[in-house]
Amino acid sequence: MRILWNNTASAHVNKVSCCENLWVWRRMIRDDLRLVGMWGSIGGRGRRGRGSKRHTSVCCCCCYCCGGGGVLLLWRWVWVILDWREMTVLTTAARLLAMLRESHNPILKLHALHNLNLIVDQFWTEISANLSQIQRLCEDEQYDHRELAALVTSKVFFHLGGLNESLMYALRAGSLFHVSDNTEYAKTLVAKCVDEYISLAIRGGAATTTESSSSERHDGIVVDPRLVSVVERTLDKCMADGKFKHAIGLALECHRLDKVEQAIIRSKDVPKMLSYCLRLLQTFVRRKEFRHEVLRLLVKNYESLQQPDYLSICQCCMFLDDPQTVASILGKLLRGGDKTDVLVAYQVAFDLFENENRKFLLSVRDRLPETSNSAQQLVSNSVNNAAAAAAPPPPSAHVIIMSGGSEHGATAIEAEMIRTEEEAPKQESHRGKGLAAINRSTYAQRLKKIKGIFSGDTPINLTLQFLCTHNRSNLLVLRSIKQSVESHNSVCHSATIYSNALMHAGTTVDTFLRENLDWLSRATNWAKFSATAGLGVIHRGHLQKAKVVLSPYLPQQGGAGGSGSSFPQGGALYALGLIHANHGEGIRQYLLDSLRNTGNEVIQHGACLGLGLAAIGTGDEEIIEELKAVLYNDSAIAGEAAGISMGLVMVGTPSDKAGEMLTYAHNTQHEKIARGLALGVALMLYGCEEEADPVIDQMTRDPDPVLRYGGMYAMAMAYRGTANNTTIRRLLHFAVSDVNDDVQRTAVLALGFVLCSEPEQTPRIVSLLVESYNPHVRYGAAMAIGISCASSGSNKAISLLDPLMTDKVDFVRQGALLGMSMVLLQTTEAREPQLCRFRKQVEATISNKQEETMTKMGAILAQGILNAGGCNVGIMLRSRTGHDRMNAIVGMAVFSQFWFWYPLIHFLSLTFSTMAFIGLNEDLCMPKFEFVSDAKPAMFRSSPPVATPVVSTASKIKVPAQVLSTSSRVKSQGIPMTKVSKLKAGKTILQEDVCLDLPSNSKRPKICSSLIIEPEQPTAAKEEEAMDRKSQHEVRDHQPTAKDEEEFRVTVREKGAPVTQKTQSLENLTEVLSNPTRIIPAQEKFLRFQEGCRYAPLKLRQGLLGFVMLNDLAPSEPVELVTTDAAIFTTTPPITSSAAGLLAETSESPLAFNHDSHRPLK
Amino acid sequence: MGLDVEMKTAEPAAAPSPLIHLKATIALIEKGVAKKEMRLMARAIRQMLAVRRRLKASTVSSFLNYALPSGSEALSRLLGFVAKVELGDASMEVDTPPSMAQSSQLSYKQSVLPELESFSYLLVIIFLIDQKHLEDAKVCSSAAIKRLQQFNRRTLDVLAARLYFYYSLSYERTNSLADIRGTLLALHRTATLRHDELGQETLLNLLLRNYLHYNLYDQAEKLRSKTLRSDSHSNQQLCRYLYYLGKIRTIQLEYTDAKECLLQAARKAPSSARGFRIQCTKWAAIVRLLLGEIPERTTFMQQGMRKALLPYFELTNAVRIGDLELFRAVADKNASVFYADKTHNLIVRLRHNVIRTGLRNISISYSRISLRDVASKLHLDSATAVADAESIVTKAIRDGGIDASVDHSKGWMQSKETGDIYSTQEPQQAFHSRIAFCLNTHNEAVKALRFPPDAHKKELESAEKRRERQQQELELAKHIAEEDDDEF
């Protein structure tokens, strides 16, 4: 019987499947009995777990009589031994599908479902036709096996490519959907699940992550608990497999704090995980609130470590804006007896200072315990050695103080330091009695020091000291620029002055200005304003002498007296601001008074900018009110500055003032004021990210292009360094679709700010814009690359900028030159061969008479940027720890406004960050010691002096010859190379060679001056004559010169070959550096402290750039400190009054160049 | 379905030694991987196929030794297969690969690119198929597919698609296509998830072929309609797809679609793919006959196809004349050919068309004819011949086959005057469709053009050139100005 049935069934099956003309067949036999044969089996295998062993299987055949309408059902119970799959190769799932239609027999349905689940991968096409049936099954609340139905449905949807539906049904399948399956289906769906969850978590806003219940509520969006459970299962699996980094990443993306914490705690290397998490947080977590929550979590976990990482904790606290915690941590560290703790505290302070969050720094300082009381006590307690304490530092002291002279802070520190040292032995003797008091006194000193760091006095002083002593800028460069630009071209003239300012930023070297007073006096009106302001850049951070230096120009109290012209006066006030940028408590009142006392709009302009710089980010209400008063005068010049300054003062603190400013921007007739205000609003939105969106929307939708332009800046500022995709998309949209060139240009430029955290992305994103038809967009692209890839020397950036340097349009070339100089800043020729070519190109552009003015100006500025800060600074928009430097970004934003207003070029100095290793001991002094850099010196040496083309031929031969002969002489002295000190001596000689302007060098200045003074004859006629002669000379002598030089080199090489080679091979490998030294970030990893070195850097630090606290391993030995050249601090008398007069009192000639109208032609 | 179509352009073998030729492909593949350039992969395969006929076992094994790191699993396995061929049928039972010992002596090379490994597999499989070692080819290709599944590299796509094809081919030759249907489906799914469009296309075609091999037209149609198809990446795969689609449509009685597909497939196929084009032409001819059209005589007289198409030519003649007797005779005579071509069932469907063609001839010849005469002319020899004739005529009228009317009461058929076709829209439409076709072809050709990247950048003029040009312009302007002055 059984066999019979099998035969008939298979006969039918064969008939159905083999008939290729199914359609025809169907038509023709419509009246026939249509047979759908099926048979199958239901094993009891599905429920093996329950132990029921049903061997009953069902074999059934259902024959539907279509024509008659009646249903003929034949049931046959047969024992089926074989599994149905083994009997035949299956060609269709129609039989199983037909079984589903069985409304009476749930067993059949279950059987069908069960088998469909097994074969779905092969027959999904067929099943999909009948999907609605299965869907109905899983929606049927009464049906017991709807989970199985859901699973089948999910699989079919997966095959059909409907992942969303598939996921929905997979979730319904509950436990039947195995997360850990190794099938493509499971893997894909789990990935989909996680994606879905992440998108929900992000959309849901504030995630209530601490909630432990499985269902979470995100502001009205209810996340499917099953989805949550799948994600949790995945996370748990990650952790179980030991992939904690994956787990942390996933949990962060899913906004699951609890899981982040769990992953961190369960991992074996907690500190590593914490730092990994912190890094992820900075790069990937976009939402501010969530970032703060994670930061809080991190702080908690850091604190629970055995050795808390205070540096990281304090960084986190800074982001959380929690000065109280930092203050208490620092207080604890300082109070402790352990010297290392104190060093850590100092290090924390320095690191926080580097992030330039002024408001936070000040509030930490104010929260630290007061020193005055304890200082009083200290004095009273140590009456017995009061004499020593009160006396000025004895000249014979072995401590060589940096000769700040009148510097109050430094003196006090030194005095106290000496006092402690003298106290030390006494402390031993009067142990019992004096212990508490002494402790208190040391505590007070420490507090004072740390406050010095927080207020900025100490780091600014140290930086200034470093920049002064290590200045390696080359005046020859400037002289050659000066000679090659036509004197009547005021743009190039002032560009040279700007270039000088940038080149000597923070070095206090104003030699160039001093030497060329006559030439300088050609500056008129606003050029004079910015020339004076340039002094501020040069003396940046020179807090004590600021007013002295600027005294000839500052407006006298009581009106517009003083030196008469208002331009230098305004410039001087601006300069004061530049000197005190981000550190303006001392000068604030003075600037305020100056602003109040004047009605002159130029002076107001300077004072406003100065105030803005000095009070950057403080949100000082009084200043804002004062600025607002200036603004409402509706004077174009003063109003613009007031607008910008309001933004500067309120950087990062959005308030309703933004609306007020925008309203005024609408009302005013002056485009300049509107632009100033727009930029001001943009600055206010700094770092606000999503919070800023309403204001950004308002600005970008404005019909006024000036405000849209501000809107671009607003996006740049609000999303600085976030690489936020939405913002990038919006900016790109504006870059190509706005009707206004300024807006387009700024939109591209803003990309540079948004992407400054991921410089490697920028070239890719702007690569198409670089080829835009619109020169404004090209310019913007060049600047964007410059901004985001600053000081990176990135290859891609260079290759993109390269074609722009020969662009058709002059201002695009300008942008390319500027961008390129920013990118190549602080790279060396050894690492980036392009640098050499670029330098040559810049020089050629400057000296090319046919070159357009705009390009020339760009080249002159580029020269300044390349040699910025005496070759010791780089443009860093992010601090070493990867946080945004607020001042730098703000400075860069205002700098990029120079398109409209040249004096704003000086803002570039805010972005400069000293590239140095400055090691400090417990007393915050620089001890003398040496360490090693395991790299070729050439790799990181700052660029050699440029052989300027204008310098006459004689020097052309001699300059390289001198260097070579000196070096070979030094090297051939047969120095025993083991003695490091001597090698160093040799090196300094080399360096002196390099610095042509060092007065100590005996030979060089003579040659130089004899060569250079010649063209500086006072009368223009003579100068021209000289120039002509020289150029003739040059043309004639050029060829042989080069040849001579080559020959000379060859001979030198041959002569000194054996020795030189030997020394070189030694020098090639390593280089010995002494304490404060120039280091670029790429060099950090080569640095090494030798065995037996007295000092060791704090272990907690990752890098060696910036201020590094040193652990003194031999505290008992006398400390030798680095001597600083006293001359720099003392010999900066103000430029003599007559000279000042030259600069200040020149009559305003009709030729006077009006800055107002120098926008580039279109 | 004895259709073995390998559409490849046979390149003239210029290289002296196949081994040198093969070694050159390695460089090509490595370059392709480095540049992520799919075309280079395709070129490597083409180069390999060019020397395919000249491959010897020794060549293949020395290539393998050169390309694969010694001691690697792939090398030993592949060498084993090649060695079997080398030993010949006589010593088939020797299973241990003799080259194992020799390969272990060689120094261990660095790990090999998955692309290169796949390429080696492909070479060996093709070699085995050519040498008729089909069982080995089956084993080898299965191993290759298993290995492929471990990678997820887009650079592998081209090679993978080829491997899938030969995998399927080796199973088809051994008549076990049904075994790999599941694997192919899984591979297709994977390809879809990874957006491997070439693989998707290839696998879909293989699946269709697989289903059609077993006459599972229903399944094939379901699969085809349920899968998403993007723009085609390979002309070959598109041709195949159209061919399979045409067959499915024919079975589904959708002749118009089927005709379009089949003709397009025949048109798009490269001229070297003769077998494929013959098959397409056969099917297209039948479909056209089924549609009531008569294919041109030239269709059957194409060079190199005449003999293969002869039965279909005879058939067409029968249908053209509308002679049922002749039709029956031709069908019986060529039954074996039609069975082999799997077109027999379609031929059966043709009978109806023969009748209709006869009817059309009658309607053209007679302006009025009695239904009885129609029945006798059509050789309708059933009992109710007149009624049958009437139903056939009315159906033909309804279908638009003939332009006539039936007078039931008087028992005749009245033909209508043939109108002037040029007074209708038809010629216009015909022109329109031709123009549309040309434009479409042009657009596709433009789309397929490739430009070397960054070629336009060279055109930017250098700074010196610009200055020179500006100088010239300036001079020119001055010159013109002077001339202007002269005139006054």
pLDDT tens readout for residues B188-208: 888 888 888 888 889 999 999
pLDDT for position A1154: 36
For A718, A719, A725, A738, A782, the CA distances from A730, given in Å and listed in that order, are 13, 12, 9, 11, 19
Q: What is the mean pLDDT of residues A904-923?
A: 86
* Residue A128 touches chain B, beta carbons under 8 Å: yes
Grade residue A943 by pLDDT with cuts at 50, 70 and 90.
low
Model confidence pLDDT, tens digit, residues A66-125: 333 333 333 333 333 333 443 445 667 777 777 777 777 777 878 888 888 888 888 888
Q: Look at A128 and B457 and tell me if their CB atoms are within 8 Å.
A: no
Is B178 within 8 Å of A89 when comparing Cβ atoms?
yes
Q: What is the pLDDT of residues A842-901, one digit of tens each?
A: 988 888 888 888 899 999 999 999 888 888 888 888 877 777 888 899 999 999 999 999
Percent of chain A at pLDDT above 70?
Answer: 69
- What pLDDT is recorded for position B487? 58
Average pLDDT over residues A737-756: 92
Average pLDDT, chain B: 81
Q: What is the model's pLDDT at position A1123?
A: 67
For chain B, the residue count is 488
Q: Which two tokens stand for residue A993?
A: 């060679």
Q: Are A1128 and A469 in contact (CB under 8 A)?
A: yes
Task: Indicate if the pLDDT at residue A435 is higher than 70.
Answer: no
For every residue of B175-209, DSSP letters joined together read: T-GGGGHHHHHHHHHHHHHTT-HHHHHHHHHHHHH
pLDDT > 70? residue A9: no
Q: What confidence tier does B377 reach under pLDDT thresholds 50, 70, 90? A: confident
Distance from CA of A38 to the nearest CA of B (A): 18
Contacts of B193 in chain A (CB under 8 A): 184, 188
User: Which of A22, A129, A806 lies closest to B462 in CB terms?
Assistant: A806
User: Which of B 147-166 lie inside 8 A of A, CB atoms?
Assistant: none
Per-residue pLDDT of A593-615, as tens digits, reads 888 888 888 889 999 999 999 88
Residue A204: band (very low, low, confident or very high) from pLDDT cuts 50, 70, 90? low
pLDDT exceeds 50 at position B107: no
Instruction: Write out chain B residues lying below 8 Å of A128, CB-based.
Output: 222, 226
Radius of gyration from C-alpha coordinates of chain B: 31
pLDDT band at B33 (very low <50, low <70, confident <90, very high): confident
Query: Are residues A806 and B463, on separate chains, in Cβ contact within 8 Å?
Result: yes
Q: Sort out which chain B residues have CB atoms less than 8 A from A20's CB and list them.
A: 215, 217, 251, 342, 345
Percentage, residues of chain B above pLDDT 90: 11
CA distances B252 to A20, A26, A394, B55, B346, Å, are 10, 11, 110, 44, 11
3-state secondary structure of A412: helix
- Residue range A664-686: mean pLDDT, rounded: 91
Q: Cβ neighbours of residue B75 under 8 Å, at least 6 residues apart?
A: B64, B65, B68, B69, B103, B120
pLDDT of residue A312: 79
Compare CB distances from A23 to B186, B192, B251 and report the shortest one's residue.
B251
Helix or strand (DSSP H, E) at B340: helix B335-341
Average pLDDT on A250-279 reads: 80
Looking from the CA of A275 toward its CB, the CA atoms found within 13 Å total 13
The shortest CB-CB distance from B185 to any of A22, A121, A161 is to: A121
Query: What number of other Cβ atoms are within 10 A of residue A48's Cβ?
Result: 10
**A346-355, A779-788, A953-962, B88-97 — which is least confidently predicted?**
A953-962
Of the listed ranges A158-162, A257-261, A908-912, B434-438, the least confidently predicted one is A257-261
A174 band by pLDDT with thresholds 50, 70 and 90:
confident
What is the token pair recorded at A672?
A: 């300049």
Residues B432-438 have a mean pLDDT of: 94
> Bigger pLDDT: A1025 or A628?
A628
Query: What pLDDT, on a 0 to 100 scale, did the predictor assign at position A27?
Result: 40
Q: How far apart are CA A1154 and CA A53, in angstroms?
A: 101
Contact between A797 and A761 (Cβ < 8 Å): no
d(CA B57, CA B98): 13
Cβ atoms of residues B195 and A94 within 8 Å: no
Task: Express each pLDDT in A133-154 by its tens digit.
Answer: 888 888 877 777 778 888 888 8
Report pLDDT for B486: 64
Whether residues B253 and A23 touch (CB distance < 8 A) is answered with yes
Question: Is A698 in the B-facing interface, judged by CB distances under 8 Å?
Answer: no
A1068 has a chain B CB within 8 A of its CB = no
User: Read out DSSP for B130-174?
Assistant: HTT-HHHHHHHHHHHHHHHTT---GGGHHHHHHHHHHHHHHHHHT
- From the list A17, A128, A808, the residue facing B466 with the nearest CB is A808
Range with the poorest average pLDDT among A171-185, A317-331, A703-717, A1026-1040: A1026-1040
Lookup: tokens for B212: 């059609």
pLDDT in tens, A361-373: 888 888 887 755 5
Residue A450's Cβ-count burial label (10 Å; 0-12, 13-18, 19+) is: buried
Q: How confident is the model at residue A1103, as a pLDDT?
A: 66
Cβ–Cβ gap A23/B222 under 8 Å: no
C-alpha–C-alpha distance, residues A490 and A941, integer Å: 35
Q: Hey, which CATH number is domain B366-417, 3.30.70.270, 2.60.40.770, 1.10.10.10, 3.30.300.180?
A: 1.10.10.10
- Residue whose tokens read 């998309």: A729
Q: What mean pLDDT is predicted for residues A944-963?
A: 42
Percentage of chain B lying above the pLDDT 70 cut: 88
- Mean pLDDT of the B156-173 span: 89
Report chain A residues whose CB lies below 8 A from the CB of B182: 121-122
A1056-1059, Cβ contacts within 8 angstroms, sequence gap of 24 or more: A1056/A968, A1056/A971, A1056/A972, A1059/A968, A1059/A971, A1059/A972, A1059/A974
In angstroms, rounded to a whole number, what is the distance separating the alpha carbons of residues A678 and A22? 75
More confident residue, B409 or A89: B409
Is B446 part of the contact surface with chain A (CB cutoff 8 Å)? no
Range 175-234 of B in CB contact (< 8 A) with A: 178, 181-182, 185-186, 189-190, 192-193, 214-219, 222-223, 226, 228
Query: How big is the CA angle at A526 (ends A680 and A893), to the nearest 5 degrees?
Result: 30
Closest by Cβ to A126, choosing from B181, B222, B467: B222
* Consecutive H or E run containing A657: helix A657-667
pLDDT band at residue A987 under the 50/70/90 scheme: very low
Q: Note whether B469 and A808 are within 8 A (CB).
A: no
The residue-averaged pLDDT of B78-95 equals: 65
- Burial string for A638-656 (b: 16+ CB within 10 Å, else e) reads bbbbbbbbbbbbbbbbbee
Sketch the domain layout of chain B as residue ranges. Answer: 15-174, 264-363, 366-417
How many Å apart are CA A227 and CA A233, to the nearest integer? 10
Chains A and B form CB pairs within 8 A to the count of 65
Query: Taking a C-beta distance cutoff of 8 angstroms, is the pair A777, A745 a contact?
Result: yes
Task: Please report which confidence band the pLDDT of residue A62 belongs to, taking 50, 70 and 90 as the band edges.
Answer: very low
Cα separation, A63 vs B342, whole angstroms:
31
Residues 6+ apart with CB under 8 A from A806: A813, B460, B462, B463, B466
Handedness of CA B456, B458, B463, B464 (dihedral sign): negative
Overall residue count recorded for chain A in this entry: 1162
Weakest mean pLDDT among A458-472, A1146-1160, B359-373, B437-451: A1146-1160
Q: Which of B180, B208, B226, B255 to mutate to test the interface with A (most CBs of A within 10 A)?
A: B226
State the nearest Cα–Cα gap between B253 and chain A, in angstroms.
8
Residue A18: its chain B contacts at CB < 8 A? 215
SS3 call for A65: coil
Nearest CA in chain B to A808: B466
Q: Give the model's pLDDT for residue A1124.
A: 58
In this complex, is the C-beta atom of A849 within 8 Å of any C-beta atom belonging to chain B?
A: no
Q: Which residues of B touch A89 (CB under 8 A)?
A: 178
**With 0-12 CB in 10 A as exposed, 13-18 as middle and 19+ as buried, what is A446?**
buried
pLDDT at residue number A748:
94
Work out whether the CA dihedral B237, B242, B243, B247 comes out positive or negative: positive
**Residue B10 pLDDT > 70:** no
Task: Round to whole Å and give the CA distance between A334 and A344.
Answer: 9
Higher pLDDT among residues A837 and A950, named by residue? A837
Q: Tell me the percentage of chain A whose pLDDT exceeds 90.
A: 13
Query: What residues in A contact B251, CB-CB < 8 Å?
Result: 20-23
Backbone angles phi, psi at A453, to 5 degrees: -70, -45
Which of B181, B253, B457 lies nearest to residue A122, judging by beta carbons? B181
User: How far, rounded to the nearest angstrom, does the alpha carbon of residue A87 sit from its chain's CA centroid?
Assistant: 69
Closest partner residue to B186 among A18, A121, A126, by Cβ? A121
CA dist., res. A58 & res. A943, Å (int): 90
Say whether B216 and A91 touch across the interface (CB within 8 A): yes
Whether the per-residue pLDDT at B258 is higher than 60: the answer is yes
Which tokens belong to A13? 């099956």
A272: Cβ contacts below 8 Å, ≥ 6 apart: none
At residue A1099, the pLDDT reads 60
Torsion of CA B149, B154, B158, B163, to 10 degrees: 0
Name the range with the highest mean pLDDT among A484-493, A989-998, B233-242: B233-242
Instruction: Determine contact, residues A294/A284, Cβ cutoff 8 Å.
Output: no
- When scoring A18, A27, A28, A91 by the number of chain B Cβ atoms within 10 A, the one with the most, hence best to mutate, is A91
Structure confidence at residue A970 (pLDDT): 42
Complex-level ipTM beyond the 0.85 threshold? no
Q: How far is CA A66 from the centre of its chain?
A: 76
pLDDT of residue A1133: 46
